[in-house]
Structure 1
């Protein structure tokens, strides 16, 4: 992995320099590009390290060295340069130690933290006009985007179980129930979607079902087996995320 290949985009994303469209494209790529995710994690970790004062101390030292360089002879500048190299080398050693040793001592992320890392709300886009069920879906998507979860549930309740849009409605219902912190209902909705033959939503249902089990602290051997199956299926939409989640849970 070469983080320098991604650094500019990662830095622009975290500093808010990307346009809304570019930010969304970057976030979508994070879901599918494991190398980019690893580079982004290293970037965030480096920010945390710098927050402990390394950056500020080095900045002060550099200012002092610059002042010394102006006020001393050529020999004095050589000594200052040697000091700078020594301190920078020591700082680099500390950073390397943190990067390579810290993962072995850091506590395993909690279920809630893992859920927050992987859960994504659906986008309120690609709305279509038409039938009453479709209008209800559109209204529910809009309500979800506005975090009006109870309104979304009310809209989705208008779609009967025999309707062609019922599975799609259950998918959005699962997200609405997460927003209302009704995890049992969310789990039931995603389980129904996962068991369907709707290509557009079936794999999303499988993934979100497992995330809800994780958030609800209901993880068991069955969940572990399902996650492993997804990770081993290279054609599954969430194979990369499943592999990553398995590593973090060990």
Structure 2
């Protein structure tokens, strides 16, 4: 296609709703809440510093890493975003795994790299929620 990989990635990227998932809203506090609020205000620098400071033993660590990936992507730090989404993916948290796979692929594409392995991971699973989008991306 004539579109650059970076432009493709940006075209396919959809900002998710940055919310405290489930019934956790009351119990999420500190850096996680601050990071999510900053994301919603498109204050990506502030979101990144808040979410990066969430310790690994925090029960919302994986969620904060997932949102950190989005903050980095939206701030055009695509390599950092790819690392964040990889970490989330490898945590095997069912709530974030499929999304992390898809956004990791877009983060890779945005760096104009060969992301065929990541693409195939999704395409090998017809039940993947991003299967259709991955097929469209492949055909671009």
Q: Normalising TM by the smaller chain, what interval?
A: 0.7 to 0.9
Q: What is the CA RMSD across the aligned residues, in angstroms?
A: 1.8
2:71 corresponding residue in structure 1: 176
SS of the counterpart of 2:139? helix
> Where do residues 158-177 of structure 1 align in structure 2 (5 Å cutoff)?
158-177=53-72
Q: Which runs of 5+ in 2 are unaligned?
A: none
In the alignment, structure 1 residue 113 sits paired with structure 2 residue 30: no
Query: How high is the TM-score relative to the length of structure 1?
Result: 0.51
1:125 corresponding residue in structure 2: 19
**Partner of residue 145 from structure 1, selected from 25, 33, 40:** 40
Q: Distance in 1 between matches of 2:51 and 2:58?
A: 12
Query: How many residue pairs end up in the alignment?
Result: 137
User: CA offsets per residue over residues 189-229 of structure 1, 9 Å max, x none?
Assistant: 1110111111111111111111011111122xxx2122123
Check the 8 A contact 1:153/1:176 in 2, yes or no: yes
Q: Distance in 2 between matches of 1:117 and 1:225?
A: 21
Q: Distance in 1 between matches of 2:33 and 2:55?
A: 16
Check the 8 A contact 2:105/2:119 in 1, yes or no: yes
1:232 corresponding residue in structure 2: 124
Q: Which of structures 1 and 2 has the larger relative contact order (alpha carbons within 8 angstroms, sep 6+)? A: 2
Rg bigger for which structure? 1
Query: How high is the TM-score relative to the length of structure 2?
Result: 0.87
Q: Distance in 1 between matches of 2:65 and 2:18?
A: 15
Higher helix fraction: Structure 1 or Structure 2? 1
Q: Which runs of 5+ in 1 are unaligned?
A: 1-106
